[in-house]
Amino acid sequence: MSTPYTTRLAIPDVATYCHLRSVSGLSPKTAEAAARGLPNSLFAVQVLHGDEIVGMGRIIGDGGCFYQVVDIAVLPTHQGRGLGKLIMREIMRYIEQQVPASAYVSLIADGQAQELYAQFGFRHTAPKSVGMAIKR
């Protein structure tokens, strides 16, 4: 990374969260949904370029048995600079230090993001189990 980036262990505000999700290609969330969900984060990391938040990632879950890595997002103009790895290193540090060994830690990988997550030990669960979702 030629340009300096810093991390901040904090939940993004609603506007930043919604912006990062939508411009990075993740499904958009309403401000109402974000305002409800963000305070329930177990862990969150932001990547800053100067004062601008250019990336984020979170962990959600019940704090004991189940954890899910979500919202890994980097602004398109900052992609390809190792920021996804930077976010995942912070997330893995939290997992290693705070998450019980018996906990189930999961994520849903979109497209080629699975290659990033594989570098951190995440593996496909199929055929033993498959991810499922309900769309409303």
Buried b (16+ CB within 10 A) or exposed e, 6-23: ebeeebbebebbbbbbee
Can you read off the two tokens belonging to residue 124?
């496909």
How does residue 2 score in pLDDT terms, banded at 50, 70 and 90? low
Q: Chain-centre distance of CA 45, in angstroms?
A: 8
Residue % of the chain over a pLDDT of 90: 90
35 close to 20: Cβ distance less than 8 angstroms: no
pLDDT at 73 (0 to 100):
97
CATH 3.40.630.30 fits 6-118, yes or no: yes
How does residue 1 score in pLDDT terms, banded at 50, 70 and 90? very low
Q: Please state whether beta strands 66-74 and 104-107 pair in parallel, antiparallel, or not at all (unpaired).
A: parallel
Tally of CB atoms within 10 A around 116: 15
Confidence check: pLDDT of 44 > 90: yes
Burial of 129 (0-12, 13-18, 19+ CB in 10 A): exposed
Can you read off the two tokens belonging to residue 95?
């997992």
pLDDT, tens digit, for every residue of 66-119?
Answer: 999 999 999 999 999 999 999 999 999 999 999 999 999 999 998 889 999 999
Buried b (16+ CB within 10 A) or exposed e, 38-59: beebebbbbbebeeebbbbbbb
